[in-house]
């Protein structure tokens, strides 16, 4: 019950429908997020000890991660529509529309020497999630961020 209340307060899941259609601002494309960006976030950021944990403000919900619906906890196939929406809305909150290149979504996982911000996600060798702006995952994220802020 408390989860439903928290989601409603956060603006997630109050429409009463859990389908994959929802209102989005401007030219932001949730289908592109689900197809291109969410898999990168799940792969690179969504580990249980990282952003796949309910203890983090920036969360990525999906298979093998924290789930919004306990019934989906053992579904290894795909995130639910509500999980896609929640991950999408959380990712949007980490985008700086005035200066997209400075968005936390891009800077937190990037190594400081490549222009990134401080991040506790360094591995045991001291490497950040993305060592350079040429990392495949970083390129996917930056394309999405820059495409939705271009309009």
Mean pLDDT of 76-99: 87
Q: How confident is the model at residue 18 (pLDDT cuts 50, 70, 90)?
A: very low
18/113: higher pLDDT: 113
pLDDT of residue 124: 62
| Residue 5: φ, ψ to 5° | -65, -40
Mean residue pLDDT of the chain comes to: 75
Of the ranges 5-14, 35-44, 47-56, 126-135, the best mean pLDDT one: 35-44
133/7: higher pLDDT: 133
pLDDT of residue 134: 94
């Amino acid at each position: 019950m408390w989860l439903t209340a928290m989601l409603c307060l956060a603006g997630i899941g109050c429409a009463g429908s859990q389908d994959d259609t929802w209102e989005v601002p401007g030219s932001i494309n949730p289908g592109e997020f689900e197809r291109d960006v969410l898999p990168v976030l799940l792969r690179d950021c969504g580990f249980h000890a990282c952003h796949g944990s309910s203890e983090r403000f920036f969360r990525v919900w999906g298979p093998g991660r924290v789930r919004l619906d306990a019934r989906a906890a053992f579904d290894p196939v795909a995130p639910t529509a509500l999980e896609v929406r929640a991950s999408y809305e959380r990712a949007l909150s980490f985008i700086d529309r005035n200066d997209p290149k400075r968005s936390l979504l891009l800077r937190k996982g990037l190594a400081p020497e490549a222009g990134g911000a401080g991040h506790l996600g360094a591995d045991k060798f001291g490497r950040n999630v993305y060592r350079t702006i040429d990392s495949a995952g970083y390129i996917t994220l930056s394309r999405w961020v820059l495409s939705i802020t271009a309009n």
